[in-house]
Amino acid sequence: MPYFNFGYFKNPTVRKIKKISIEKKIIAWKKSKEFYDGSRKNGYGGFKYDGRWIKILPKIIKRYKLNSNSKVLEIGCKKGFLIHDLKKLVPRIKCVGIEDHIYPIKNCKKEVKKFIKLANFTKLPFKNNSFDCVIAISSIYTYNFGDLLKIFSEIKRVSKSNKNLITVASYKNIKDLEKLLNWTTLSTVILKEKDWIKLFKIMKYNGDYFFTNSKVLGLK
């Protein structure tokens, strides 16, 4: 269960916290146009391809020894940007993405649309030991705690090995927790770092993890 800083949150933009209203949380949870491509007040404010994964993925490729024979699953792939860049960097690699809302699939990169499926993260539509690597970035901790346990079991079921990477929302003290709660629209399960590690052990998750917290998000 190694901690793996893969570089996604390197040099974050400083974000001034403004408490999210209930109305905006409702808009965000629809995960439709307003969340992805509407006003910044309601979500991403334009979830557009910027090529950032081209710089980040080499570290992931090297760590998990991904090659043209590898099969990779991304849980919560959104518009498929990671999959697009991974296929560009590793020709003939087999990639599949899962999303639980239709809007990002309909508006994903056209080059990877056929590789993205609509499915609930708690019941992955794949056979046992289907993938060499499973990646879940900023996705699984939006589910409730009970469903999160099912997701851990599903990751273990479809994985051939422990070459997996997840990010989870965490905090070290109450001040950090308050920052996250005031800023986030989707995070449902936010645990102390030590409690996440206990959970990993109980669920026998032996892959890599990264803690998303107020510091790495640049919350002030």
**Separation of alpha carbons 175 and 177, rounded Å:** 5
Residue 55's CATH number: 3.40.50.150
Could you give phi then psi for residue 171, rounded to 5 degrees? -155, 160
**Separation of alpha carbons 46 and 68, rounded Å:** 32
The answer to whether residue 143 is domain-embedded is yes
How far is CA 216 from its chain centroid? 15
The answer to whether residue 195 is domain-embedded is no
The answer to whether residue 162 is domain-embedded is yes
Contact 185, 43 (CB under 8 A): yes
pLDDT in tens, the chain (220 residues): 699 999 886 655 666 666 788 888 899 899 999 999 988 777 888 899 999 999 999 999 999 999 999 999 999 999 999 999 999 999 999 999 999 999 999 999 999 999 999 999 999 999 999 999 999 999 999 999 999 999 999 999 999 999 999 999 999 999 999 999 988 889 999 999 999 999 999 999 999 999 999 888 888 7
The answer to whether residue 141 is domain-embedded is yes
The answer to whether residue 13 is domain-embedded is no
Measure Cα distances from 168 to 5, 6, 144 in Å: 12, 14, 13
How far is CA 187 from its chain centroid? 11
3-class secondary structure, 164: strand
The answer to whether residue 184 is domain-embedded is no
Q: Is the pTM of this model over 0.85?
A: yes
Q: Which helix (H) or strand (E) holds 106?
A: helix 102-106
Name the residue range of residue 91's domain: 23-166
Tokens of 76: 């919560």
Taking alpha carbons only, the member of 11, 29, 7, 5 closest to residue 184 is 29
Tokens of 148: 């999160």
Measure Cα distances from 96 to 14, 132, 134, 193, 215 in Å: 33, 12, 10, 30, 31
- The β-bridge partners of 136 are 166
The answer to whether residue 75 is domain-embedded is yes
| Total number of domains in the chain | 1
The answer to whether residue 33 is domain-embedded is yes
